[in-house]
A and B are shown apart, each in its own frame.
Chain A
Amino acid sequence: MSKHVRRQLHLDPTLCDAHGFCAELLPELIDLDEWGYPVFIAGGLVTDVPEDLIGEAKRAVSTCPAGALRLTKHE
């Protein structure tokens, strides 16, 4: 039986400074609004990350200059 691991990307909007790197790395999950702030395409401030995008999500977290992104793992 394979364990389902759910990975989620969290955005802290009070830290985000609209650098926009996350949307470049993860266009599948993130748009930018007209002011340059990230919008999770699925809505809200937490979004599911599919298996094949985990590497890019990790890069987005580490390259965010504001430290506004966080990746979590729930089993």
Chain B
Amino acid sequence: MSSHRLLPIDPQTGRARDLRSLASHAAVFGPLPMLPSAANGQPGELIDEIAASGLRGRGGGWFPTARKMQAVVESAAGRRQRSAGSRPVVIANAMEGEPASGKDAVLLAHVPHLVLDGIQAAAATVGATDAYLAVHRGTPSIDALDRAIAERRSDPVRVELITPPARYVASEESALSHWAGDDTATPVYGDRPFERGMNGRPTLVQNAETLAHLGLIARHGGAWFAEVGDAEAPGTTLVTVGGRVRQPGVIEVATGTPVSELLARCGYVDNPVEGFLTGGYGGAWVTSEALWSAEWAPAQVRNAGGVIGAGILWALDAGICPLHEIARVATYMAGESAGQCGPCRFGLPSVADDLTDLAHATCTKEDLDRINARLALVVNRGGCKHPDGTARFIATGLTVFSAEVAEHLRGGCSASRSGTSLPIPEVRKSPVKRAGKDFR
């Protein structure tokens, strides 16, 4: 059985096919069936197939999609006022918030209509009257997406393309809901989007990959979807593999595929690596030994000490200083704080500064203790999980690379070459002075 579902492969080139036109999309995937809409407080009938599929959200949380949709429907049904302004909303998250991820771009560049099909399927299932596709500002695919949306004249729900600023926290689901309603892409504390999202309406935010899977489930059913993959989190999934592999990029694998096999597919042949980053900059570092024998599924990667998140696996070259990488990313993540909560606004930059000293081997044991104390102080105190994810990235890195930390405390560094590995997006230089100011 082929593991290519979202990304049909051209047998001639071995690459994902370009199915950007509606005609080519329909020729390969077939038509999207008519989908009865939610009514009378009940979800559309596709909900049974989605529940049977076991589909979980691919944006990072891996939450059961059917349950999230059910919560949106229940929230809408429970309202006293049933005006148009209280009807559910669907937001497709194709923001690619994790800098090391490439899967949203790959989906939009090859199979945008599968994502748009998924938006229609989701809108029918929750009874949404408005739908948005969010890509970050400056994304090269914007014109092509406008054309793709314009081609779909028979869609029951019109999809509006929205372009929030390309900031890390702007892709958090409350921030996206905030942006869609009020043009400010900062996370909102307290309200859960499925209850109160865009303009207070029940809002279903789903990752682009989740919606693309939904486009297939609408055609082939839940049992078909669950034919491949891990029992707890079935189906295929996209993985962005980067770092020291010969063919970095986005691949589609069945969940539960051994990490060793996944890496072999990207041309990893026994390369020396320092360790692996899983899940991106809000993710976790893992030793090669721990990850090598694991399977790529949420529980298995978690047991190995990592996190799948949005499907990122980065092999850090042996020879590159991991502490420099950690300091670079920590500095970027500190700059990406929305500045709304004190521990994140002040805590992350102070930790990043000490990590920079550690990377330069000008850090004392006391400074290291201060890093660890402050990391503990930023967790569980934010309005969103930005500080928590960043703290996990740093803390797991300091553990996995503890030998290198010790070397740096002695004033040394065992890197055999300079250079960097992990990508850091261009960040505007001005520090955040007021919450929200740079998020419009």
A residues apposed to B, CB below 8 Å = 12-14, 16, 18, 33, 35-37, 39, 43-45
Contacts and interface: CB of A to CB of B under 8 A. Distances in A.
Interface in B312-351: 340-343, 346-347
A20 B40 CA distance: 49
Contacts of B380: 43-45
Given A13-B382, A13-B383, A14-B383, A37 B343 contact: yes
A12 B435 CA distance: 14
Interface in B347-385: 347, 377, 380-383
Nearest to B347: A35
B175 to A, nearest CB: 12
Interface residues of B, number: 16
Nearest to B188: A14
Contacts, number: 42
A44 B377 CA distance: 10
Q: Which of B188, B341, B346, B381 has the most CB of A within 10 A?
A: B381
A13 B346 CA distance: 13
Contacts of A45: 380-381
Contacts of A16: 341-342
Given A13-B382, A18-B342, 14 more contacts: A12-B190, A13-B189, A13-B340, A14-B187, A14-B341, A14-B383, A16-B342, A33-B342, A36-B342, A37-B341, A37-B342, A37-B343, A37-B381, A39-B377
Contacts of A18: 342
Nearest to A36: B342
A13 B343 contact: yes
A35 B381 contact: no
Given A12-B189, A12-B190, A13-B189, A35 B343 contact: yes
12 contacts: A12-B190, A12-B383, A13-B341, A14-B187, A14-B189, A14-B435, A33-B343, A36-B342, A37-B341, A37-B346, A39-B381, A44-B380
